[in-house]
C-alpha cells in the first residue's frame, strides 16, 4: 500500500495496479466466461477448415441468400478459450520477474505502513484518553463554577423578590388609605353643594354673592381639586401595582435558575459509570440562546429594573403621604373659613332683622298713625271752608241783581277777594291732603316693604343658621381624611 500524509492524518490508498501483468483476482466471477452464451449445435466444437467455407461458397445462391448464409455462419462461430490463447500475445520472462519484484515491494510497503499505523493509533488512543479525561475534569469544574454562579444570582433574585413583595404590600396599604380618604371627601362635598343649593332659595335682596357663597364655592373647588389629585395618584398606584412586569421577570428568572441549577447539579454528578447516559446525535450543533456575559447581564438588568420599579413605588408612596396631609389641611382650613363666614353672615342678618323691626315698630307705624290723623284734620278743615265759601258766593250772586246804577263797585263788592281767598285756602288744603295721602301711601308701602324684608331676613336666617349650619356641625376628622379608620 502507498502511504500518504502525516501520522495523525494518515490515509491509505488501495494497492497500486501493476503495469506489467493484468490484475489477478481470486473472485469466482473472474473465472466466468465473459462471452455471451450462444446457441450452437454439437458440431460447433469442431474446427472448421478453409475448405469447409470454400465448399459452401460454391453453391449457386443469389446475393441476398448468400449474405444471410454468411451471417448465420459468423454468428454460430464462437471464440473459445483455446482459440483466444492461440490468438493473443504472451508475456516475456522479464515481465514475470518485474511483476514479482513489484509485488514484493508493495508487500513490504504495506507491512511498514500497517506497523506505523498501529503505533500511531496506540499513541493517538493514549493521548486522546488523557485529553478526554482532562476535558471531562475541566467540564466538571466549569459546571461546578456555573452552579456557584447560579446560586449567587438566585440569592440576589430572592433578596430582590422579597424587597419587591414588601414594597408592593406597602404600596397596597397606602392605596387603600388613599381610597378611604377619597371616599371621606364625598360627605363634605355633598354638604357644601347642599348648602349652596339651600342658599339659592334666598329671596329678593338677600340673594347676594356674599362671603359665605364665595367660601362655599371655594370649598367645593378645593374638595374637587383634592379629589382630582387623589384620583390621579390612585390611578398611578393602581398602574404601579398592576404593572408587575419586573416581579414577573424576577420570578420567571428565579424559576429558570432553579431548573438550571437542578440540571447542572445532575450534570456535575454524572460519571462514566452513571445511569441514564446515552448517545444524542447532533446535540453538539444546537444553538444557544445566550453567552455568559449576556446571561449575567440579563439577570442584572432584571434586578436593576426591579430596583427602579421599587424606587418609583417608594417615591409614589411618599407623594401619596404628602398629598393626604396637604389635602386634609386644605379641606379643614376651607371648612373653617366657610364656617366663620357663615357665623359672620348670620350675625349681620340678625342685626339687620332687629333694625328692621325697630324701624317698623317705632317709626313707620307711628308715622302712619300721625299721617292718618293729619289727613282727617285736613278733611275737616276742608269741610269747614265749605259754608264760608257758600256765604261769600251767595252774597256776590245776590248783589249782582241790583238794578241800573245801583250795580256799583262799592266796598262790599270786594267780596270777590273773599271768595278767591277761600278758594285759594281750599286749594292749598286739598294739596296738603293729597300730599298727606301720598305720604301715607308711601308709609304703608314702606311698612309692607319692611315687613317683607323682615320675612326675607327671617328666611335667610333659617337657611343659614338652621339648615346649613345644622349640616356642617360634623366634618371628617384629620385621621379619617388621611385614610385611617
**pLDDT tens digits, residue range 208-230?**
888 999 999 999 999 999 999 99
Task: Compute the average pLDDT of residues 384-395.
Answer: 78
CA distance 443 to 367: 7
For residue 362, pLDDT over 80 is answered with no
Concatenating the DSSP letter of every residue in 402-455 gives --GGG----GGGGHHHHHHHHHHHHHHHHHHHHHHHHHHHHHHHHHHHHHHHHH
- Are 335 and 471 in contact by the 8 Å Cβ rule? The answer is no
Number of Cβ atoms within 10 Å of the Cβ of 314: 13
Q: How far is CA 315 from CA 198, 227, 233, 245, in A?
A: 43, 20, 11, 18
Task: Give which of 157, 117, 136 is closest to 307, Cα–Cα.
Answer: 157
- The x, y and z cell numbers of residue 297, run together, are 447581564
**pLDDT tens digits, residue range 301-351?**
999 999 999 999 999 999 999 999 999 999 999 999 999 999 999 999 899
Residue 417 confidence (pLDDT):
72
CA distance 458 to 452: 10
For residue 74, pLDDT over 90 is answered with no
Residue 125 confidence (pLDDT):
93
Taking every pair of C-alpha atoms in the chain, what is the biggest distance, in angstroms?
229
For residue 244, pLDDT over 90 is answered with no
For residue 28, pLDDT over 90 is answered with no
Q: What SS3 string covers 301-334?
A: HHHHHHHHHHHHHHHHHHHHHHHHHHHHHHHHHH
**pLDDT tens digits, residue range 188-210?**
899 999 999 998 888 888 888 88
For residue 166, pLDDT over 60 is answered with yes
Task: Compute the average pLDDT of residues 108-134.
Answer: 92
For residue 258, pLDDT over 70 is answered with yes
Q: Give this prediction's pTM.
A: 0.60
Residue 114 confidence (pLDDT):
92
Residue 71 confidence (pLDDT):
52
Beta-strand relationship, 3-4 and 11-12? antiparallel
Comparing 68-72, 171-175, 273-277, 333-337, which segment has the lowest mean pLDDT?
68-72
Residue 234 confidence (pLDDT):
93
For residue 485, pLDDT over 90 is answered with no
For residue 89, pLDDT over 70 is answered with no
Concatenating the DSSP letter of every residue in 41-72 gives -GGGGSPPPHHHHHHHHTS---HHHHHHHHHH
- Are 462 and 155 in contact by the 8 Å Cβ rule? The answer is no
Task: Give which of 224, 230, 228 is closest to 320, Cα–Cα.
Answer: 230
3-state secondary structure of 90: coil
Q: Provide the mean pLDDT of the chain.
A: 79
Q: At what angle do helices 93-184 and 211-242 cross, to 10 degrees?
A: 160
Residue 25 confidence (pLDDT):
41
357 or 283, higher pLDDT: 357
Task: Compute the average pLDDT of residues 171-176.
Answer: 92
Task: Give which of 475, 456, 453 is closest to 464, Cα–Cα.
Answer: 456
Residue 413 confidence (pLDDT):
60
Amino acid at each position: 500500500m502507498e502511504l500518504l500524509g502525516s501520522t495523525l492524518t494518515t490515509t491509505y490508498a488501495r494497492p497500486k495496479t501493476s503495469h506489467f501483468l493484468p490484475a489477478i483476482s481470486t473472485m469466482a466471477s473472474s473465472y466466468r466466461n465473459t462471452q455471451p452464451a450462444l446457441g450452437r449445435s454439437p458440431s460447433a466444437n469442431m474446427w472448421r477448415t478453409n475448405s469447409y467455407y470454400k465448399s459452401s461458397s460454391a453453391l449457386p445462391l443469389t446475393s441476398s441468400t448468400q449474405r444471410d448464409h454468411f451471417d448465420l455462419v459468423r454468428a454460430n462461430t464462437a471464440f473459445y478459450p483455446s482459440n483466444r490463447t492461440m490468438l493473443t500475445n504472451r508475456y516475456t520472462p522479464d515481465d514475470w520477474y518485474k511483476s514479482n519484484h513489484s509485488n514484493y515491494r508493495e508487500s513490504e510497503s504495506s507491512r511498514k505502513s500497517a506497523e506505523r499505523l498501529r503505533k500511531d493509533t496506540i499513541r493517538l488512543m493514549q493521548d486522546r484518553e488523557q485529553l478526554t479525561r482532562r476535558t471531562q475534569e475541566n467540564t466538571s469544574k466549569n459546571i461546578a463554577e456555573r452552579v456557584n454562579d447560579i446560586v449567587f444570582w438566585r440569592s440576589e433574585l430572592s433578596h430582590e423578590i422579597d424587597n419587591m413583595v414588601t414594597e408592593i404590600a406597602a404600596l397596597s396599604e397606602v392605596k387603600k388609605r388613599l381610597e378611604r380618604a377619597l371616599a371621606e371627601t364625598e360627605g363634605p362635598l355633598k354638604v357644601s353643594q347642599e348648602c349652596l343649593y339651600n342658599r339659592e332659595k334666598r329671596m329678593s335682596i338677600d340673594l347676594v354673592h356674599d362671603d359665605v357663597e364665595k367660601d362655599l364655592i371655594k370649598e367645593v373647588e378645593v374638595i374637587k381639586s383634592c379629589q382630582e389629585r387623589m384620583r390621579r395618584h390612585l390611578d398611578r398606584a393602581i398602574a404601579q401595582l398592576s404593572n408587575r412586569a419586573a416581579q414577573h421577570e424576577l420570578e420567571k428568572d428565579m424559576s429558570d435558575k432553579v431548573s438550571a441549577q437542578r440540571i447542572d447539579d445532575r450534570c456535575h454528578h454524572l460519571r462514566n459509570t452513571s445511569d441514564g447516559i446515552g448517545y444524542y446525535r447532533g446535540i453538539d450543533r444546537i444553538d444557544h440562546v445566550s453567552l455568559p456575559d449576556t446571561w449575567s447581564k440579563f439577570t442584572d438588568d432584571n434586578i436593576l429594573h426591579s430596583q427602579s420599579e421599587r424606587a418609583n413605588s417608594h417615591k409614589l408612596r411618599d407623594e401619596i403621604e404628602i398629598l393626604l396631609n396637604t389635602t386634609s389641611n386644605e379641606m379643614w382650613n376651607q371648612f373653617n373659613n366657610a364656617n366663620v363666614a357663615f357665623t359672620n353672615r348670620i350675625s349681620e342678618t340678625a342685626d339687620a332683622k332687629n333694625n328692621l323691626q325697630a324701624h317698623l315698630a317705632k317709626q313707620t307705624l307711628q308715622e302712619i298713625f300721625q299721617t292718618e290723623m293729619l289727613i282727617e284734620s285736613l278733611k275737616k278743615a276742608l269741610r269747614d271752608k265749605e259754608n264760608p265759601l257758600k256765604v261769600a258766593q251767595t252774597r256776590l250772586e245776590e248783589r249782582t241783581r241790583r238794578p241800573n246804577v245801583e250795580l256799583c263797585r262799592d266796598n262790599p263788592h270786594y267780596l270777590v277777594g273773599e271768595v278767591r281767598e277761600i278758594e285759594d285756602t281750599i286749594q292749598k288744603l286739598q294739596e296738603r291732603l293729597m300730599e298727606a295721602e301720598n305720604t301715607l301711601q308711601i308709609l304703608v308701602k314702606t311698612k309692607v316693604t319692611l315687613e317683607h324684608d323682615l320675612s326675607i331676613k327671617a328666611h335667610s336666617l333659617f337657611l343659614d343658621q338652621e339648615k346649613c349650619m345644622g349640616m356642617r356641625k360634623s366634618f371628617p376628622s384629620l385621621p379619617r381624611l388621611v385614610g385611617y379608620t
